[in-house]
Structure 1
Amino acid sequence: MIDHDPTAVADAEASLDASHQDDPAFGPAFIDVDEWRESPVPHRYLHGGFEGTETRFVMYLPERETYSGRMVQELAGGVGGIEAHPPEYLEKLLRGAFHLGAFVVASNQGWILTPQHPGVGGPGLPEDLTILSHRASAQTARYAKSAAAELLGARPHHSYLMGASGGGARSVAGIEQVPGLWDGAVPIVMVNQHLAWHYWSVWGRAELALRHKREEITAAVDAGADPFSVLDTDEQRQCLSDLYQVGYPKGAEFLLNMGAAEWANWIPLIDPEYATDYWNLPGYAGEGRQPMRATGTVTQLIRASDPEASALMGPLGEGLRRLLPPERVVGARIDGDELTEDVIGCRFTVGEPGHEILRVCTVVDGDRIGFAEFNERPAPRVGQEITLDNTLEQAWAHYHRHIVDPQGPTMRRWASDGAPIWPQRPEDAESRAVLCALPTGRFDGKMIVVQSALDHLCPPLFAHEYVKSVRAWLTDGEDRIRLWILDNAQHGDPAPEHGIEPNLRFVRFHGISLQALEDLVAWVEDDVTPPTDTSYELDAWNRTLLPPTAGQRGGIQPLVSLVGPAAAVVGETVRFAAEVEVPPGTGSVVGAAWDLDGTGRFELKAQIKEPASHLTIDLEHCFTHPGTHVVVVRVASQRQADASDSVRLVENLARLQVRVTDGS
């Protein structure tokens, strides 16, 4: 336990303004774990919380002599609920922060995630959602600053927020809603709630309509062909067109995997009356219709280790399927109404009244349904009667029609003569959203936003609109915010265990995020101007287009182009050349690796004798069997040309298809 010095703490607190005063919703802080840990890097670990609340926090402290008076607060994505970190990410986070002389603090942002309390589609979130939005994080920051005076010898003179996805949105909410508590923020793949619910509804409808066309659409885009040419119906064409209209990145079609269907579970939370209105009120597509229902009795539970499970886990993707525990229930056999593909996307409820958890049917295979998801939730029981219905799925697939800003560039399609075509939800519906307070574009301090170009969940347009609002509101906005867009990156970092294909298509964003944190510190504390924004344009469909050269593109990501033959013969030696260039003043190429066998492991490392800002990397290769081979080169740059740094690496990749024949 920590022995507090009440006099010292009181004196320090008295000097702070109102935003630094304790929030009365939180009881006194307590510490229940205080120990030295050697892994993943040596640090002092503290775990605690606030009495009378569900808020829990962790602090990771460097050795006292390396502390330079900074605090980095990391906000988990989604809707939080957990204060722990995956080991690989924790190592990079601690190495990046300790390098800056900072300690790290994180929290569950006000609530405890459990399978019985998932937050979305069931109970768990705080009743007052401002707790989740920013208040739990702010109270954690206040305590951590005071504790640092005792634990490390001084309060931090500067503190910084960073987080990805929902954590990115709440990084923005924190620095906007509690001015003066943090000096800067690094939002990563951030949600923009002014656009998000509209975008996610369009996405959900498209995934249902296009669920059998994903591979064909992806192949067409990979080959440079028209993706609409592989579609069969007007509904499919309309849904893909709508999806691009709201900013879905061309090149991310591989990620159309039914994940959006789960998001209908938000409807009761963000707009409790909407589903009822959808099925009953004039002007809504559900008027005069009845939800589709299928009722049956669960006769068998299917677990991830069962032979028939693979057919029910498709929407998870190859890699995530392998990560599921063998005992995880991923589906069930149903005896009752005939099951057709029409029930895909339908919901059913598991649990006791008042504590029900919504689950979604993602696959139908004969008399079996799949409801696999990566996050564990309760499953139905054998003998239990369940009713699948599309009450929420259909309502969610049309929600975007009813939350239209006619002036919004992504929403004009659903307006005519400056007015929405369909009835609109109450004006306060948007503000009920559970991720965070609505962004205003006004904050104290500085910010570097990192967004992924191929993010299917939070496309670059989300960050574009926020940065535009900042520069419209703040007269010095150009000197307060940066936007770096990471090409060939998605919403999460790919890893070998996530499967082959994500590793062949996407690069990791945590390296650029930690470099952004370092640049933010220099910008805030020493007025060192960071590299420029990534330059880009929005096409007529609101998709983000990046310039073809590093000098034009800006930002800090290396640009790589790959040249080689489009066709080859088995046994023939062919040559590939990767041209790599780093934007001026942002570092040197320190690493490159090739994947020629489709494993996603990039085991063939290039030899870079001398890091440089512009390199050509050659490779000769003989293909041993015919077929379409995808050659991928992945490169990395580092600001100080330090090839030994595994933390602040900024990656990119290039792909090339080669058709190999046997010569006959």
Structure 2
Amino acid sequence: MTDQELTAVPDAPHQDDPAFGPAFIDVDEWRESPIPHRYLHGGFEGTETRFVMYLPERGAYLGRMVQELAGGVGGLEAYPPAYLEKLLRTAFDLGAFVVASNQGWMLTPERPGVGGPGLPDDLTILSHRASAQTARHAKTVAAELLGARPHHSYLIGGSGGGARSVSGMEQVPGMWDGAVPIVMVNQHLAWHYWSLWIRAEVALRHKKEQITAAVDAGSDPFTVLDTDEQRQALSDLYRVGYPQGAETLLSLAASDWANWTPLIDPEYAKDFWNLPGYAGEGKEPYRATGTVTGLVRASDPEARALIEPLPEGLRELLPPDRVVGARLSGLELSDDLIGCRFTVGEPGHEVLRVCTVVAGGCIGFVDFNARPTPQVGDQITLDSTLEQAWSHYHRHIVDPERPTMRHWASNGRPIWPQRAADAEHRAVLCALPTGRFEGKMIVVQSALDHLCPPVFAHDYVETVRARCANDDDQIRLWILDNAMHGDASPELGREINLRFIRFLGTALQALDDLVAWVEDDVKPPADTSYELDAWNRTLLAPTAAQRGGVQPLVALDGPTETRIGVTVRFTAHIEVPPGAGSVVAAAWDVDGSGRFEQTAHLKEPAPTLTTEFEHCFTEAGTYVVVVRVASHRQGDPSDSVRAVENLARLQVRVIDGS
């Protein structure tokens, strides 16, 4: 790519946003970690917006800006060191400085943002205005400290940050030249999908392991279900695009989401319990008051059942004294209380918590926000008003034109009463996407994303292409097989690490490709080729040449049954799509540890590779052999930052030969 001269670049045609006061800097220092950079922290007077800037040495600056948008609903401008290091290395290699903000508000234990507490009153601040004002000021700072304003600026963000990357491009044209939305939220589909998701998680809470085992074995997951409610819940979940293969991610930790109901539709809960056509008509929500007789901490025996919704690795991260639940008296506890809300804290500083588990005489409410907990002797009232209403919300926001919603319509008309036609009040995480923007995008979505399934990105990209005369010159969609809503890592637990890959390397490679596409018209690799089945699940093309995109494909061959003491051979066939680079790494796990200690020896990087591994099982049982592979655009095995991963799994039954 060509690096433009650092001559003066005129202001973009945007004035400062009057909602923001003058900018200030309260920290300006040189830091050596995670890599050497000049660190600035500041904000805008009269607002909660805070920003950070990471500047390379002046001689390394080539006139570019990379702006990172955090996921969820923002609230923090700090980033985990491991992620920050990879982002800075990529940006500094591009001659860019990095800027980020809290996107307009400050997350605190009392204001967690879940369901709205703490969010700006004007949600356009969160959607795009705080990010745009941060970008305006960052460009001025670059002129002062680095010698020139950036000639090109780029957005990158995941989940809610991916959605707000789209909002920035659409709502503030000319501010940024391109964006890399990752595992993006699509608010045309999100509230419908999330309502069904929560409903399914509650209905299937005792069936997750059996469903997962059935899918792993290639059998029908519906055969392990016991009730019509369970069958309907799983069927509906698949119909809205839930990826088959991600069932192990079903978790009750998302019950907090019912708290969004008053913000996205203030009158809905009242209407649900009173109006004809709603499931709550003529019924009463559950409300019951009990007394806290004791607190359950992570080290207590009862805690095991109360932290079950969390992934294995996150359970291990809980400090022993972390309060994860409470013992209650004075009310009858049952599984129906999952999702019930209760309020804790001092008057005037009350905070909503959510019951995620009922076990014996205890309720669980574990999460990773440091929110107040009840105290012994407190009376708390469990209330299902919002949870019950939320679990039916999908019925009442149906757009029959969208494939994921047609099941809830007949002859093109919604079956149940519908909410107000204007959907704008549901656009909480970002502005409602339109498909119209200037510049270019590379969307990176995960095929096994339980939170934002690939149909979210499909719907948005199709909208863009319907409005664009030359869609091949504006947007790309790369869907990553065996990827979830976050980077898999040993910290998330053995099972997560054995099933899912890390997608950050692909996203950072996309940033490289975006810069070359915008500035030098070097077209990036083609879209990932896929089809949506009748359930709206994403079926990726079977070969590297057919699939395209950037991810290596790997097929794993070997015996599915063997005996103790017999040496068996497993073979991995790896191929990188045309123009996407070479295979640079392969590693095996056969003991279920998730450590991938057996590394394949590669003579040199190549677009295709076959590697073998021999192993002798010493105990009977069922094992899963996993091979994790990586490719790199330039074939550089030393660059772990932009490595593109995939994996393959094979289940092996080992029997006693005697």
TM-score with structure 2 setting the length: 0.98
Find the residue that maps to 1:194 and give its secondary structure: coil
Find the residue that maps to 2:293 and give its secondary structure: strand
Amino acid at match of 2:11: L
Find the residue that maps to 1:593 and give its secondary structure: strand
Query: How far does residue 354 in structure 1 lie from its aligned partner after superposition?
Result: 5.5
The question of whether the paired residues in 2 share the 8 Å contact of 1:271 and 1:429 is answered with no
What are the within-5 Å matches in structure 2 for residues 139-158 of structure 1? 139-158=133-152
Query: How far does residue 121 in structure 1 lie from its aligned partner after superposition?
Result: 3.6
Q: Which residue pairs with 1:405 in the alignment?
A: 399
Q: Which residue pairs with 1:370 in the alignment?
A: 364
Q: Which residue pairs with 1:276 in the alignment?
A: 270
What are the within-5 Å matches in structure 2 for residues 233-382 of structure 1? 233-352=227-346, 355-382=349-376
The question of whether the paired residues in 2 share the 8 Å contact of 1:122 and 1:356 is answered with no
Counterpart check, 1:75 vs 2:75 = no
Q: Over aligned residues, Cα RMSD in angstroms?
A: 1.3
Q: Which residue pairs with 2:11 in the alignment?
A: 16
Counterpart check, 1:527 vs 2:521 = yes
Query: How far does residue 118 in structure 1 lie from its aligned partner after superposition?
Result: 0.5
Q: Which residue pairs with 1:3 in the alignment?
A: none
Amino acid at match of 1:87: P
Residues 306-364 of structure 1: CA distance to partner in whole angstroms, max 9, x if unpaired? 33322210001211111223332110011111211121221112235564322111111
More deviation, 265-274/188-197: 265-274
Query: How far does residue 408 in structure 1 lie from its aligned partner after superposition?
Result: 1.1
Q: Which residue pairs with 1:547 in the alignment?
A: 541
The partner residue of 1:206 within 197, 200, 210 is: 200
The partner residue of 2:56 within 62, 70, 81 is: 62
Residues 573-626 of structure 1: CA distance to partner in whole angstroms, max 9, x if unpaired? 000000000001110000111111101111111111111000001011111111
The question of whether the paired residues in 1 share the 8 Å contact of 2:446 and 2:485 is answered with yes
Q: Which residue pairs with 1:421 in the alignment?
A: 415
Residues 45-73 of structure 1: CA distance to partner in whole angstroms, max 9, x if unpaired? 11111111000000011111111100000
Residues 173-206 of structure 1: CA distance to partner in whole angstroms, max 9, x if unpaired? 0010000000000000000000000000011111
The question of whether the paired residues in 2 share the 8 Å contact of 1:626 and 1:662 is answered with yes
Query: How far does residue 563 in structure 1 lie from its aligned partner after superposition?
Result: 0.2
More deviation, 27-36/350-359: 350-359
Find the residue that maps to 2:54 and give its secondary structure: strand
Query: How far does residue 112 in structure 1 lie from its aligned partner after superposition?
Result: 0.4
Query: How far does residue 91 in structure 1 lie from its aligned partner after superposition?
Result: 0.7
Counterpart check, 1:589 vs 2:577 = no
The partner residue of 2:431 within 437, 444, 451 is: 437
Q: Which residue pairs with 2:3 in the alignment?
A: none
Find the residue that maps to 1:456 and give its secondary structure: coil
Counterpart check, 1:537 vs 2:528 = no
Question: Gapped runs of 5+ residues in structure 1?
Answer: 1-10
What are the within-5 Å matches in structure 2 for residues 553-572 of structure 1? 553-572=547-566
Query: How far does residue 293 in structure 1 lie from its aligned partner after superposition?
Result: 2.2
Q: Distance in 2 between matches of 1:420 and 1:136?
A: 37
The question of whether the paired residues in 2 share the 8 Å contact of 1:638 and 1:649 is answered with yes
Q: Distance in 2 between matches of 1:585 and 1:64?
A: 34
The question of whether the paired residues in 2 share the 8 Å contact of 1:123 and 1:355 is answered with no
Q: Which residue pairs with 1:185 in the alignment?
A: 179
Q: Which residue pairs with 2:475 in the alignment?
A: 481
Counterpart check, 1:386 vs 2:363 = no
The question of whether the paired residues in 2 share the 8 Å contact of 1:294 and 1:339 is answered with no
Q: Distance in 1 between matches of 2:307 and 2:144?
A: 50
Amino acid at match of 1:452: S
Q: Distance in 2 between matches of 1:336 and 1:430?
A: 43
Amino acid at match of 2:444: V
Q: Distance in 1 between matches of 2:576 and 2:174?
A: 35
Amino acid at match of 2:364: G
More deviation, 252-261/552-561: 252-261
The partner residue of 2:98 within 98, 104, 127 is: 104
Amino-acid identity (%): 78
The partner residue of 2:84 within 83, 90, 97 is: 90
Q: Which residue pairs with 1:37 in the alignment?
A: 31
Amino acid at match of 1:155: R
The question of whether the paired residues in 2 share the 8 Å contact of 1:56 and 1:107 is answered with yes
Residues 626-652 of structure 1: CA distance to partner in whole angstroms, max 9, x if unpaired? 100000000000000001101000000
Do the aligned partners of residues 122 and 477 (structure 1) sit closer, same or farther apart at CA in structure 2, a change above 3 Å counting? closer
TM-score with structure 1 setting the length: 0.97
Query: How far does residue 237 in structure 1 lie from its aligned partner after superposition?
Result: 0.7
Q: Which residue pairs with 1:162 in the alignment?
A: 156
Amino acid at match of 1:456: H
Amino acid at match of 1:586: A
The partner residue of 1:51 within 28, 45, 50 is: 45
More deviation, 300-309/622-631: 300-309
Q: Distance in 1 between matches of 2:369 and 2:450?
A: 19
The question of whether the paired residues in 2 share the 8 Å contact of 1:191 and 1:462 is answered with yes
More deviation, 454-463/377-386: 377-386
The question of whether the paired residues in 2 share the 8 Å contact of 1:350 and 1:358 is answered with yes
Q: Distance in 2 between matches of 1:17 and 1:80?
A: 25
Q: Distance in 2 between matches of 1:354 and 1:506?
A: 43
Residues 133-181 of structure 1: CA distance to partner in whole angstroms, max 9, x if unpaired? 0000000000000000111111100000000000000000001000000
Find the residue that maps to 1:315 and give its secondary structure: coil
The question of whether the paired residues in 2 share the 8 Å contact of 1:134 and 1:173 is answered with yes
Q: Which residue pairs with 1:7 in the alignment?
A: none
Counterpart check, 1:514 vs 2:503 = no
Counterpart check, 1:448 vs 2:455 = no
